[in-house]
A and B are shown apart, each in its own frame.
Chain A
């Protein structure tokens, strides 16, 4: 079974600075999908960014970008120009490709990020 590990339970960053959240995963598949979700205090789950394992180019969404290292099975999230609204729990998640069976998302335990003014 796939596992997702987030080794940083809590992190903090000064407003306008850059922070990187770590995520590693374990799988024997060659194609799969990786996601970062944000959960603010409202509890709503918000998709931040997504990446397909076959694509070598790192995904970017505005201030959010990933560093995808397939050989190392690493998928870190970089937040640039941090804003107070970025304060939230961040979850890394893994999904098999459809060819590997119908399996929903597998989540890591999360990293609580606090942005400090």
Chain B
């Protein structure tokens, strides 16, 4: 299994540009999440999904869209990039919610918006 994969690893955008961060998992996990990590802020939840066709907002959803058309993929779309979206983005997945369901994290995408 490849686990959780994220592409790209690094990206530089200009203000106002749009892009999609890709996340895929091959473990047949129902739960998938997107977090952003900023210095001194820990990881903050952007959006999450508990299954194909179901998404919900997290703590910091503004400026981001998600969809979940398949179990495997959970892309994160930046509609009009802003410098405040400069961050490291992590995708995570798990089989369910509970102590026994370990969250698997991708390697992260470092995004810089100029």
Residues of A contacting B48 with CB < 8 Å?
A: 102, 104
9-residue interface stretch from A63-71, A77-85, A107-115: A107-115
Q: Which residues of B contact A (CB under 8 A)?
A: 31, 33, 35, 40-45, 48, 50, 56, 58, 88, 90, 92, 96-99, 102-103, 105, 107-108
Bin chain A's interface residue count. Answer: 20 to 34
15 new A-B contacts, CB < 8 A, other than A45-B105, A102-B97, are A9-B40, A33-B99, A43-B107, A45-B90, A47-B103, A50-B99, A98-B97, A102-B50, A102-B56, A103-B97, A104-B31, A105-B43, A105-B92, A107-B42, A109-B42
State the majority secondary structure of interface residues on B: strand
Complex Cα distance, B35 from A6, in Å, reads: 18
Query: Is A97's CB within 8 Å of the partner chain B?
Result: yes
Q: Which residues of A contact B (CB under 8 A)?
A: 4, 6, 9, 33, 43-45, 47, 50-52, 91, 95-98, 102-110
Complex Cα distance, B41 from A47, in Å, reads: 19
Residues of B contacting A47 with CB < 8 Å?
A: 102-103
Q: How far is the CB of B64 from chain A (nearest CB, A)?
A: 15
Residues of B contacting A91 with CB < 8 Å?
A: 42-43
A-B contact pairs, 19 of them (CB 8 A): A4-B42, A44-B105, A45-B90, A45-B103, A50-B99, A91-B42, A91-B43, A95-B97, A96-B97, A102-B31, A102-B56, A102-B97, A104-B31, A104-B103, A105-B33, A105-B92, A106-B45, A107-B43, A107-B44
